[in-house]
Structure 1
Amino acid sequence: MAFFLGLIAFTFMAYLLGLFIPISLFANIPANMRVAITVMFVIIGIMHLKSPDKLRYMIDQFVPYPTAAIYVSGVLEILFGILIIFPTTRLFAAWGLILLLVLMFPANIYVAVKQLPAPGGLPSSPWYTWSRLAFQPLYIYWIYLAAIK
């Protein structure tokens, strides 16, 4: 939910910037959505690299080398998040982000089923961890609208 609010906020900020700075980066709503994707995935990727220990509990029961997996996912989130801005790499990056979201979905299911706290200091109430599952398809659709459609 926090990620979704970030997507909305940064899309709106990019739209406002586009009113004053007429460049292709802010040319239309899909472009503004891509800026938001870049900002949010770079932030999340940095969080993965900075604090892998805060995320390991989500995958250490079923992913071998969980810390390495967290580092790899963080690097890929940053890489794909940046590449989605450029027309020549946009499609590749969009599908890469979608694949990452699909691969991370079981970890979010695990957190909800086991009633574990949400990562990153987010609310640990069951309603929040279960509601996070509903947002994952929305993130995929956001990426699709911004970069594939």
Structure 2
Amino acid sequence: MAPLVFLVIGFVLARVAGLAGVDALDGWLPALRVGLALMFLVTGLAHFAPKMRAGMIAMVPPRLPRPDLLVTATGVLELVGAVGLLIPGTAALAAAGLALLMIAMFPANVSAARRKLSLGGRPVEPIGPRTVLQVFWVALAATVALAA
């Protein structure tokens, strides 16, 4: 749920800045790009925070090799994607890449929910609400990819 909070905060602050006269943020698309960028900045950094990292490594389905390397790679991709969303010339490509990344990472969420794991000391979200959020985030990223 925290990523959704950061997405909304980023979107609202960017939209307010746009309405206040910051031309680069004047519109729903730039505000959405900022909201998504903030969300991916936070989730990308979480891949490297020791308490969160251990939980993310545990989330990786057991059949996949080197879960530590997978968590590092996905964290770096989220951070690079967040920066890419903020650059108008790369926003569409970054958004498309992030949408694909979220789809690729979804099995880890399913695995974690089935195994009743915790992340950062809290149980992972049940698969139903997590699926709804994941579809929502992918749809937002796809919207940016197609509209940017």
Question: Same fold per TM (> 0.5)?
Answer: yes
Q: Which amino acid aligns with 1:71?
A: T
For 1:61, what is the secondary structure of its paired residue? coil
For residue 85 of structure 1, report the CA deviation from its aligned partner: 1.8
Tell me the TM-score normalized by structure 2.
0.88
Distance 1:79 1:30 in 2: 19
For 1:49, what is the secondary structure of its paired residue? coil
Between the aligned residues of both structures, percent identity stands at 27
Alignment of 1:117-128 (within 5 A): 117=118, 119-122=119-122, 124=123, 128=125
Unaligned regions of 5+ residues in structure 1, if any?
A: none
Distance 1:106 1:59 in 2: 8
Runs of 4 or more above 6 Å deviation:
none
User: Paired residue for 1:46?
Assistant: 45
User: Paired residue for 1:142?
Assistant: 140
User: Paired residue for 1:96?
Assistant: 97
Deviations 1:75-95 (A, max 9, x none): 110001110122221121111
CA RMSD of aligned residues (A): 1.7
Distance 1:44 1:91 in 2: 20
Unaligned regions of 5+ residues in structure 2, if any?
A: none
Contact 1:49 1:75 in 2 (8 A): no
Distance 1:59 1:9 in 2: 29
Check if 1:17 corresponds to 2:14. Answer: no
Deviations 1:36-65 (A, max 9, x none): 111110111111023322311101512211
Distance 2:99 2:131 in 1: 15
User: Paired residue for 1:35?
Assistant: 34
Aligned counterpart in structure 2 of residue 129 of structure 1, from 115, 126, 131: 126
Q: Which amino acid aligns with 2:104?
A: L
